[in-house]
């Protein structure tokens, strides 16, 4: 619901012209009848300048508050969306039954399981992946091993 009528810019500008011409006429009539003098005119101009300055200060303050509120809101939304819990909820809520069935079938099938293990092993952040000897032999990736390498040639006990 809008409080302003649905007018065009030219209609608003015409209203502005009428208001300005009415105010100018009122000032000229006041000067003619001696209501306004040079002293009162200077005082009126100073008062209008103070009003305009005050309005400018209010707009400046509101702009700063709006910018601050916007950045705080974006930060809060970013933190909420970046948390691992929210990311997992997002992924899980978008899963469909067919995707779950495909993943379960891929894990049950030895060929599919090896493809999944190889895909995980090929991720750049994975350095080494320990698996059973049978799985390590069936997986083509060199990162999948059955025994972890011994550090500095020292045997584990």
The mean pLDDT value of the chain amounts to 79
pLDDT band (50, 70, 90) for residue 48 = confident
What pTM did the predictor assign?
A: 0.34
Contact 155, 131 (CB under 8 A): no
Q: 3-state SS string over 22-54?
A: HHHHHHHHHHHHCCCCHHHHHHHHHHHHHHHHH
| C-beta of residue 107 within 8 angstroms of C-beta of residue 113 | yes
Q: How confident is the model at residue 142 (pLDDT cuts 50, 70, 90)?
A: confident
Tell me the domain boundaries of the chain. Answer: 10-84, 95-148
Helix (H, G, I), strand (E, B) or coil at 144: strand
């Amino acid at each position: 619901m809008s409080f302003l009528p649905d007018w065009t810019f030219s209609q608003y500008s015409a209203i502005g012209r009428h208001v300005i011409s009415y105010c100018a006429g009122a000032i000229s009539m006041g000067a003619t009848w001696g209501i306004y003098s040079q002293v009162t005119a200077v005082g009126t101009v100073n008062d209008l300048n103070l009003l305009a300055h005050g309005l400018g200060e209010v707009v400046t303050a509101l702009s700063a508050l709006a910018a601050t509120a916007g950045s705080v809101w974006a930060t809060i939304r970013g933190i909420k969306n970046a948390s691992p819990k929210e990311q997992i909820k997002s992924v899980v809520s978008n899963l469909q039954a067919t995707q779950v069935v495909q993943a379960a079938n891929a894990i049950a099938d030895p060929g599919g399981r090896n493809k999944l293990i190889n895909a995980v092993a090929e991720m750049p952040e994975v350095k080494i992946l320990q698996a059973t000897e049978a799985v390590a032999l069936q997986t083509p990736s060199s990162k999948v091993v059955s025994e972890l390498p011994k550090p500095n040639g020292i045997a584990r006990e």
